[in-house]
Structure 1
C-alpha cells in the first residue's frame, strides 16, 4: 500500500511554531502540546493562551535518565524545530495497536495544536503523530519494513476521529 509523505505539512507547521515562540503577540489564542522522542530523550512543550493569560511548561528527559527536568523555552523549541526540519515525515493514521511501539532509532513527535491569529476569521487545529527521516528514501524503506504493523497514513488529508490535518 502506498504511503503518504507529510513533509509539506511539517514545513508549514514549522513557521507557525517559530512565530508562536518568537512573536506570541500575533496570536489571539493557542493551545499546544508537543511531545518529541528522539535519540532516547524526551522533549515536551505545553503552552496555552486563553483570555489573555499565557501558561507554558517546557520539560524533558535525557537519554537513559529517570527524572524529568524543566527546559529553557528556547531549548525545547529548538529541538522541535530540528525535528520539523528533517528531510521527510510520515504520520500515523490511528493509535498504535496494543503492544506495538515505534522504532526508537527514528524520532517521532505527537503534535496537538490549535490557534487563532489576531484578526483571523476562525481558529485552526492539527492533531498528528509524525515520524521523522533524513530523506524520502529512508521514509519509504521504513514504511516497507513496517508493513501492516503500523497504521501509516496512505491518503491525504488525514481526517480521523482523533488525528487530523489542519481543519
Structure 2
C-alpha cells in the first residue's frame, strides 16, 4: 500500500503560519509549537496567545553544535516556510519505535498548532510529524525503504489520540 502524501495539508498550513507571522491580529487565540530538523540543524518556534497576551520564543541550534541560540522571528518562520514549500510530505502515524531515528538527510518537522481566528465559530487543531521531500518520487522511494521500520500514515485522514489532522 502506498503512503499517504500530505502536500495538500502542508499547502494549507503554510499560508496559515504566514498569516500568524505577518498579521497575528486576525487570530483570537493560538498555541503553536514547531520543531524543524534540517541539514543537521534545529529550529524551534513556540508562540501562544491567550487572554490577549502573546508569549513567543524562537531558537535554534546550528549543525554539529550543542549550543542553542535565540533566533529572529523572521528567520525561524522562513525556515518553517521553506520546509512547508517542499514538493512532497509524508507523515508519521505514531511515535517512533524505540531505537528508531529519522534519516537526517530528509528534513522533518513536528507541528502542534491550534488557533481560532476572530469571528470563527470554533478553534482548529493539528498535531503531526512531517517528513519533507523534493518531490513525490523521493517520498515514495523513502517510504519503500522505511517500510516496516517507520509508522508512516497510509490512509487519510489521520485521527489518532496524539497525532491528528485538522479537527
For residue 15 of structure 1, give the secondary structure of its aligned residue in structure 2: helix
Aligned to 1:19: 19
Does residue 7 (structure 1) correspond to residue 7 (structure 2)? The answer is yes
Query: How far, CA to CA, are the matches of 1:90 and 1:2 in structure 2?
Result: 11
Displaced runs of 4 or more, over 3 A: none
Mapped partners of 1:52, 1:113: distance in 2? 18
Give the structure 2 partner of residue 102 of structure 1: 102
Say whether residues 1:123 and 2:123 are aligned partners.
yes
Shift of 1:66: 1.1
Deviation at 1:17, TM superposition (A): 0.1
Structure 2: where are the runs of 5+ without partners? none
Q: What does 1:81-160 correspond to in 2, within 5 Å?
A: 81-160=81-160
Q: TM-score, normalised by structure 1?
A: 1.00
**What SS does the corresponding residue of 1:160 show, helix, strand or coil?**
coil
Q: Measure how far apart 1:2 and its partner are.
A: 1.6
Tell me the distance in 2 between the aligned counterparts of 1:66 and 1:141: 32
Distance 1:8 1:62 in 2: 30
What is the 5 A alignment of 1:13-52? Answer: 13-52=13-52
Q: Which residue is 1:164 aligned to?
A: 164
CA distance in 2, matches of 1:33, 1:136: 26
Aligned length: 167
Query: How far, CA to CA, are the matches of 1:51 and 1:147 in structure 2?
Result: 45
Gaps of 5+ in 1: none
Compute the RMSD of aligned alpha carbons.
0.3
